Chains A and B, each alone.
Chain A
Amino acid sequence: MTVPSLLTTADLDRLIRMLADGGYTCVGPALRDGAIVYDEIGGVADLPAGWTDVQDAGRYRLERRGDGALFGYNVGAHSWKKYLFPPAEQLWRIPRATDTIRPLTPPQHPVRHAFIGVRGCDLAAIGIQGRVFGHGEHGDGRYAARRDAAFVVAVNCTMAGGTCFCTSMGTGPAAGPGYDLALTELVDADRHGFVVDAGSERGAALLERLACPAAGDAEIADARARVDETAGRMGRTLATDGLREVLLRQLDSPHWDEVGERCLACANCTLVCPTCFCSSVEDVSDLDGSHAERWRRWDSCFNPGFSHIHGGEVRNSTGARYRQWLTHKLATWHDQFGTSGCVGCGRCVTWCPVGIDLTAEAARLREREDSA
């Protein structure tokens, strides 16, 4: 492994431009309509410098930080899954013919994305979705192709948000394996720089072309200390010990219907979740019937029709749908894919319009079992 480099903001700008010159479409955090989302960026000028987010259950606000930090916030409603698992994707189209059905697949325009600012939780989520789509006899190769083409610039978190609990899930605040480059931002009154590690050969090659000075021992230690301190400042915690078993023993608990009384079944949690992967197939045809298309669109286990079979919905109450979501995320995901489906990003807590908090509901189910 190469020695970490020390970059200035101008160096980071050069890095983004080098990626763009290398054919990557660079996407990263950007300020839009009072929130930080992921969108195309051309350089550091497009990053939300000096902004931070204040998050709690059902609450998200931007505030000024009082410095020029480029990554001084946590995650917003968007996640990188919109690039790797598009919200709507045409699977095929079939021209009408009397003697055959010949599906035409849309031409693949492989967009190579460079993701700028991937947090540890989200890098773990990308790995989890990779396992989901690669799973089984008929793996979906499109996810892997997009993931493999993507260049990942991770950011180690030096602050934790009000709904963050990556420490509980073991996914952050330092980004785990899978990045090409990982930045730790050092911002003080008298300096602004980034300690940058390479995690892949292409990352190391890019760092070498940037030709920045090696980071000193003091800077490396400082960067590490800021990330380590962040681990102790999570806004939420989730006790994962034996959680799968607790939840699976509580399938008949009245607690699900109590959550169902509060839950609006709006599906926000599943849409903002970086690991939720459920989709629906939608068949459409044009008005003159000359061709038909099949689209895959994000769906949610909170939608009433999600479990429909003839005769009605299998999960016919909001409580049953919440139970499906929570037990899938925290329990049966282990059976299916070998890990939790939760990375501790806190999005589902922040973006729930009524502030239902997954960590609190899991804790409550554990208490109910203990007091039973």
Chain B
Amino acid sequence: MAAATERACGTSPLLPHAWRVAEAWRETGDVVTLALEPAAGDGACDWQPGQFNMLYAFGVGEVPISVSGGTSRRLLHTIREVGPVTRALGALAPGSIVGLRGPFGTAWPLREARGRDLVIAAGGIGLAPLRALIDTVCRERDAFGQVAVLYGTRSPADQLYGPDLDRWRRAGLQVEMTVDHADVDWRGPVGVVTSLVRRVRSDGQRTTAFLCGPEIMMRFMARELEQAGVADSHVWVSLERNMQCATGHCGHCQLGPVFVCADGPVFAWQHVRRLLTVRAL
């Protein structure tokens, strides 16, 4: 299992720290990215791709959001507006203050995947926790073999990170996209993201896969990859559960024996596949 990094954002893991919204932009109709910088001079957050922070909107509440890019002093968080807290965060203007606790959880084990082919598959907002991982792969392109990014969304309008997708292609990544519902301008494939696996040129035996999206998508993607010869010990998934403390003590995020906030959110598929086949566990 990937190891969590040492905390660098303050002393008590329960106390939020002040970060300022440096920039905010809308990615799609209901998705916003915030670029955060420490409000105090010495603030920093030493995160790794796959980890998350707890973001607090004053007086409204707190939600777990993956770090989708940036540096230790400029954090990108991409937020889908689905409830009161995410809507409050999405409405923040540059200069506003948010509370931040973190980083928490496990990171994508990219080091162990060096020298291998990669399949990075995302559904919807699931591209956000993978974005920083893909950027790292681009920076260290020679350390990996074939790299495919498979991305499925409900519609073309729901696709995140358009400029990044182009940049990743230019960096030599195979980027394949599909949508559930096409619009008049869409020229790509229509269907579930698992249907893109057959376009992948990598060798299953040499492949490590990183998956993030709805659970049903990750289950079927893992099955598809297994049929393509990828060992389940080389498939990694990022899970979502209700998280409130982020330290493994409030109990909300339990899935069988694991605390998703502390033991995950990134798990080896072989450790959680049985748990995810049980309905409503």
Question: A residues bordering B, Cβ < 8 Å?
Answer: 91-92, 94, 96-103, 105, 132-133, 135-138, 140, 248, 251-252, 277-281, 283, 285, 289, 292, 296, 299, 301, 306-311, 314-317, 320, 323-324, 327-328, 332, 335-336
Contact = CB atoms under 8 A, between A and B. Distances in A.
Contacts of B99: 94, 101, 103
Contacts of B280: 314-317, 320
B247 A309 contact: no
Contact of B59 (A289, A309, A320): A289
B18 A135 contact: no
A283 B62 contact: yes
Contacts of A328: 254
A226 B61 CA distance: 54
Contacts of A283: 56, 59-62
A320 B56 CA distance: 31
| Secondary structure of the B contact surface, majority rule | loop
Nearest to A140: B249
A281 B15 contact: no
Contact of A136 (B97, B240, B247): B247
A140 B247 contact: yes
Interface in B250-281: 250-252, 254, 256-257, 259, 262, 278-281
Contacts, number: 125
Given A251-B278, A281-B62, A289-B59, A138 B13 contact: yes
Contact of A309 (B242, B250, B259): B242
A45 to B, nearest CB: 39
Contacts of A320: 279-281
A172 B248 CA distance: 29
Those 4 A-B pairs whose CB atoms lie nearest each other, nearest first:
A278-B251, A335-B257, A285-B59, A320-B280
B4 interface: yes
B82 A310 contact: yes
Nearest to A321: B280
Contacts of B12: 105
Interface in B24-83: 39-40, 56, 58-62, 80, 82-83
B16 interface: yes
A306 B16 contact: no
A100 B18 CA distance: 5
Given A101-B16, A138-B13, A283-B62, A308 B242 contact: yes
A135 B281 contact: no
Query: Which of B7, B17, B82, B248 is the most central at the interface, judged by chain A CB atoms within 10 Å of its CB?
Result: B248
A277 B254 CA distance: 12
Contacts of B245: 279, 281
B39 A100 contact: yes
Contact of A96 (B14, B58, B60): B58
A101 B250 contact: no
B179 interface: no
